[in-house]
Amino acid sequence: MANYPFEFNPSEPYIKQASDWIADVFYDLLPEAGFEVRDEQIYMAFQLERAYQEKKTILAEAGVGTGKTLVYLLYAISYARYTRKPAVIACADESLIEQLVKSEGDIAKIAQHLNLTVDARLGKSQSQYLCLNKLDTARYGEEERELYRDIYQTLPAFVRQPDTLQSFYPYGDRKDHAHLSDEQWSRIGWDVFQDCLICPQRHRCGQTLSREHYRKSSDLIICSHDFYMEHVWTYESRKRNGQLPLLPEHSSVVFDEGHLLETAAQNALTYQLKHGIFESIITRLLEGEIRESLAVTIDEAIEQSDMLFDTLQRAAVKIEGSDRMEYALSESLKDQVGRFRAVLNTIEEELVYESGTFTLNDYQLKIVEEHLDMMQTALQLFEEPERLITWLREDQDGLALVIMPKKVQEVLKERVFAQQLPIIFSSATMSVDNSFDYMMSGLGLAHSLQFSTASPYDYEQQMKARLYAAYARRDKVMKTIELLHESEGRALILFRSEEDMRQFRQEVQEIAPMLSYPMLYEGTQEISRLIEQFQQEETSVLCAVSLWEGLDIPGPSLSNVILWDLPFPPNDPVFAARRQDAKDAFLEVDMPYMLLRLKQGVGRLIRSSGDSGIVAIFGDELTQNEVRQQVERALPVKGELESC
């Protein structure tokens, strides 16, 4: 592989030569290959030049069809080769990762038409890999054991037969088991409560092997926002445990769909506690020769933990439209947390003495100490409720207490923006009313380079928008079926929550069981396979919760986008906390969030100059003049309002 994609002259500044090459690409090389190069692309390229030259953060808002992905890839690849460190491209979620590396994607186009061999490797999140321990449990379990036994038989020989450990290759990716529903995958997929540090199968784990693979990339490592923030948040603790960080040193970072990074940062800073996990970890100390006082304190801690989670279970209240539960943070509950923390403090003090006696296994001791430190950091937030966001969730393994700090700005400032790296935020929607203040405030960005350029598409000719207000649920289902008939399928229906999508699915089956269009629902199989099926079966209808951003399907397969509701934020603890901190919650939190997500959803329709179709938007709030006017301003065309 040539070191540079152009003939490099060491006597001239690198960035000038890179910019000249990128200009040649857009003015000469791509047009000669039959590409339509847009003025907006060239404008964006000159804007990114400054970010790479000065190693600054830039907010690059470029409308749908600008070709922004091609621009940032050219800079990222050339800069990676100059610095000899890979660039990281962080996408909003795993489905967008797959779209970036698909055979007809922009990386493939660069390789083909610029005669480059691009080393692009996927750094997928841990949840995208199966857990060998959970698979062992599932194949001997009560539910669908034959399904999981068949999966076990497809694993490489070195996993099933330790004596044949002769060669390694990556395996266990969620995509390799695309036929599984999300529920089926949850029984074997990695989750946050797996203790990988002491797992006896970790050296044969597909997740481990994938890390060894992507870390060696010379050009691009493509991951999700969540994974990048997990890397940032665990960087120091992994080093303390003698582990490599999740990502290697890198030359630049691109946050595609960058307006979603704040949510990913909050997810990464989230702590999840379970009584069963705590008990299994703390009782490891009992395997060594320890003093009676420590053993008694361990029993007391287990009892206190059990009491705390029992109290939380009784206080839990289901949040409508969410898989989360909330609870009242009473004084008695805070007292219980305080007593639990006091016992944990005693254990930590006892461990200082025990570590000097060398009766405990050093590795096991380090794991216990790390877990106790994490729990103390999380539970300490209960002393400052104004900094705390907390909720409960329950799965087959019991109740989990989820704790999240309200503000992530300081972490982003210290661990992301303080790096001397070019950091690119790329999205079609980052500003509200021509201002980037909403996004910058959420990220804690005091200063950045920024620009905005419009879409080159002729929306007046290509798109029709319809607004539907005050529809009863059954009437809305009937109207949706009518819209599907109008476009003969070929539709994407976007929902605010999984619960809304499940209800819609049930109602459609009752009202129109013989609907002639294949109905595809997110969660029934792996998402990238579902998208591929939607694209190939032209009259199919894709119903989704997570595809408001990034879905890129040009052509007649997507001729109708239906927004089941205006995408206002959910009534969950995260947004409840934001609303509490705002002077006018509706104008400062709900409306900006809704408008950004609305524009993203609408942007799924027109993906090429030859596309055309309808956007249909339902929303009871459209009866409010203020909301309707804001929605109409956000749409690229005038919308026709209809009430039931």
Give per-residue pLDDT as tens, 175-198: 899 999 999 999 999 887 777 777
**Angstrom distance (rounded) from CA 12 to CA 29:** 23
Q: Which residue has the tokens 């002393």?
A: 383
Pairing of strands 560-563, 491-494: parallel
CA distances 360 to 250, 273, 368, 395, 606, Å, are: 38, 24, 11, 33, 63
- Tell me how far apart the terminal alpha carbons of the chain are, to the nearest angstrom: 62
Distance CA 513, CA 507 (A): 9
pLDDT of 163 reads 58
- The whole-angstrom separation of Cα 139 and Cα 155 is 13
Please tell me the predicted confidence (pLDDT) of residue 408. 81
SS3 track for 290-301? CCHHHHHHHHHH
List pLDDT tens digits, range 448-457: 999 999 888 9
Percent of residues, the chain, with pLDDT higher than 70: 96
Kindly state the DSSP code that residue 422 receives in the 8-state scheme.
Answer: -
Tell me the Cα Rg of the chain: 26
Domains of the chain, start order:
130-162+193-204 (no CATH), 271-407 (1.20.1440), 459-642 (3.40.50.300)
pLDDT for the residue numbered 572: 79
Task: Output the pLDDT for position 442.
Answer: 84
Residue 439: what are its φ and ψ, rounded to 5°? -70, -45
CA distance 33 to 603: 27
Vertex 348, ends 345 and 349: CA angle to 5°? 90
Residues near 11 by beta carbon (within 8 Å), at least 6 away in sequence: none
- Please state, in angstroms and rounded to a whole number, the distance separating the CA atoms of residues 624 and 626: 6
Distance of CA 68 to the CA centre of its chain: 20
Integer Cα distance of 389 and 6 in angstroms = 50
Predicted TM-score (pTM) above 0.75: yes
Helix (H) / strand (E) element for 573: namely helix 573-581
Rama region for 67: left / alpha / beta (φ>0; ψ in -120 to 50; rest)? left
Q: In the chain, which residues have pLDDT < 50?
A: 1
Dist CA 114 CA 75 (whole Å): 14
Distance CA 580, CA 571 (A): 12
